[in-house]
Amino acid sequence: MLVNLIKEFDMSIVLTASCAFVLILYYWYKRPRNFPPGPRGIPLLGMMPFLGKHTEKDFRRWSKKYGPMMSVRLGQNDWIVLGDHKTINECLVKGGSSFSGRPDHPVFKVVTKNHGVAMVDYGDHWKVQRRFRLTTLRGFGVGKRGMEDRIVEEIAYLNDAIRSHNGKAFDIAELMANGVSNNISSIVMGQRMDYDDEIFKILSKKAPNSDASGKITKLVMYMPFIRNFLILFFNKAKEMKKINTSIREAIVNWVSQHKSTYDEHNVRDFIDAFIGEQKREADVSFTDLQLIQYVRDLYVAGTETTTGTLRWAVRCLIDHPEEQNKLRKEIFDVIGREKIPSMKDKAQMPYTCAFMQELFRFRTLAPLGVPHKITNDVQVEGWSIPKGTWLVCNLWAVHNDPDVWDEPSKFKPERHLDEKGNFVQSKHVIPFSVGPRHCLGEQLARMEIFIFLVSMVQKFEFLPDPNEPQLSEVQQGVSGFMCVPHPFKQIAKEV
């Protein structure tokens, strides 16, 4: 009798556990009605264990099975992944505001406090601050001759710093970051800073770029619930948090100095313009917290992206000496050896334009762009996507689509020239994304990259370090939120 009771009890436990397991699997693999198909992975982790170093490449491989709009379970969330130009354009451009939200991601909340503009959700706050940013930056010369003059002034300091290495091998990354950061400083703080200035060093600090930090970035992005664990046990995560804290403290101090010296009759920079809006009580969103995060957005977004692109440019110059010579020949033919480059010269420089466009295509700096969120229930491409769903665009897949690009893995600027040698602008090169949430700094970034690239190639020939002839494979950059080159050294020989 007792034996039978034990057996029945054991059977009930097994049955209960089996039912619980079935329910867990059911809810894990359950999708919203008419939701885009895609891989689900395993409970709790989703497809995380199946992601390689370059997530964008995994997404493209899976999209061949599930289509250009698919859902991927990452951690505990379903992400929509857009995998080709047509689908991205259909959603971000034609879909407009419906695809313009930002995820209510725990990490974004911790870093931005729901302020700034880059990671703020779509709504009245974002619209007011975006309008202020566009108007104010335009007023301080962005897109105009005034900003061009500031960049030209900074390139002189950068070139002098490059010359100081006297033809010896060095890593240009820090100098590049300094130069680009000073362009931001001239707008935000009204002045350039010396590269040795302590505050400038703090503001110019970057998150560590390594394969380890790239993995941490992905884990936190797709599995935010483990962020505190990572900070406790991983030094790279601690370092990233420490850098963010030091940058924030430096900005707080700088804002305080501006407030103590503010003069409404002498608006010196972006910070002063914001303080003026506060004093006019123009909108409740003009708070101190908003200003601090705004400045941080401008520095981080404005520095790391352009610096990363220029570092890739130097790598391409080193790896492709024939292309470097063609670029320099056009620069000498159009500008000469001594004349300062100007944006007005760009129209006469088709090969330079082709080189830049190929650079944007060949090494997509943000392979998956910035995450979006669906702001209302939508019907698109025959699928139903509920409000609040998170989404990423595989910009790398667009830039490496074999149906559009011949030999996409090769660096070939000539692909952007017609048979007469004229530059051909391509709608399939979208490094700054598209739609209402495309990068607001695109105009400034394009100006910086053109002037910096032309000025450096005009003055220097970039050669590999003879003591390090085997550079890391160009296709294997450090892959996290951004894809940047592994550290490398080069020689800059004056021409």
Question: pTM score, two decimals?
Answer: 0.89
CB-based contact 452:151 (threshold 8 Å): yes
pLDDT in tens, 317-342: 999 999 999 999 999 999 999 999 99
pLDDT tens column, 113-139 = 788 888 899 999 999 999 998 888 887
More confident position, 299 or 437: 437
pLDDT in tens, 204-216: 655 555 556 566 6
Structural contact between residues 285 and 293, judged by C-beta atoms closer than 8 angstroms: no
Q: What is the pLDDT of residue 350?
A: 98
266: pLDDT strictly greater than 80: yes
Q: What confidence tens digit (pLDDT) does each residue in 373-431 have?
A: 999 999 998 999 999 999 999 999 999 999 999 999 999 999 999 999 999 999 999 99
Report the pLDDT value the prediction gives residue 287, as an integer from 0 to 100. Answer: 93
Confidence band for 105, pLDDT divided at 50, 70 and 90: confident
Single-letter amino acid, residue 260: S
The rounded percent of the chain whose pLDDT value lies above 70 is 85
Provide the pLDDT for residue 328.
98
H or E stretch covering 133: helix 124-139
What average pLDDT score do residues 282-298 get? 90
Number of Cβ within 10 Å of residue 197's Cβ equals 14
DSSP character string of 320-331: -HHHHHHHHHHH
Q: Please name the residues in contact with 174: beta carbons below 8 A apart, sequence gap of 6 or more.
A: none
> How is residue 59 written in tokens?
């997404």
Beta strand pairing status for 460-464 and 490-494? Answer: antiparallel
The dihedral built from the CA positions of residue 445, 451, 457 and 463, taken in this order, carries a sign that is negative
Cβ count near 111 (within 10 Å): 16
* 457 pLDDT more than 90: yes
What is the per-residue pLDDT for 315? 95
| Range in 151-165, 347-361, 460-474 with the lowest mean pLDDT | 460-474
Least confident of 35-39, 57-61, 234-238: 234-238
How confident is the model at residue 108, as a pLDDT?
80
Give mean pLDDT, residues 418-445. 94
Residues 16-52 as b/e (b if ≥16 CB within 10 A, e otherwise) read eeeeeeeeeeeeeeeeeeebbebbbbeeeebbbeebe
The beta-carbon contacts of 423-427 under 8 Å, at least 24 apart in sequence, are: 423/350, 423/351, 423/353, 423/354, 423/357, 425/357, 426/357, 426/361, 427/85
- Residue pair 159/179 in contact (Cβ under 8 Å)? The answer is no
Distance from C-alpha of 397 to C-alpha of 72, rounded to nearest angstrom: 16
Q: What is the pLDDT of residue 377?
A: 96
Determine the average pLDDT of the residues in 5-13: 61
Cβ distance 236 to 153 under 8 Å?
A: no
pLDDT at 282: 78
- Residue 53, pLDDT > 90, answer no
Q: Which residues pair with 71 in a beta bridge?
A: 80
- SS3 label, residue 307: helix
Residue 299 corresponds to which tokens in the numbers above?
A: 């520095």
Question: What is the predicted pLDDT for the residue at 22?
Answer: 59
Q: Is the pLDDT of residue 236 over 70?
A: no
| Whole-number pLDDT of residue 278 | 93
At position 177, the amino acid (one-letter code) is A
- List pLDDT tens digits, range 144-198: 567 888 899 999 999 999 999 999 999 999 899 889 988 888 888 888 888 777 7
- Residue 25: pLDDT band (50, 70, 90) is low
Q: What is the pLDDT of residue 291?
A: 94
What does the DSSP assignment read for 424-454? Answer: ---TT--TT--STTS-TTHHHHHHHHHHHHH
Q: Which residues lie below 8 Å from residue 424, measured CB to CB, with a gap of 6+?
A: 416, 417, 418
Catalogue all structural domains in the chain, each as residue range(s) with its CATH number: 61-468 (1.10.630.10)
The pLDDT value recorded for residue 300 is: 78
Residues 6 or more apart whose Cβ sits within 8 Å of residue 392: 79, 80, 81, 82, 368, 369, 371, 372
Label residue 85 by pLDDT band (50, 70, 90).
Answer: very high
Higher per-residue confidence, 302 vs 466:
466
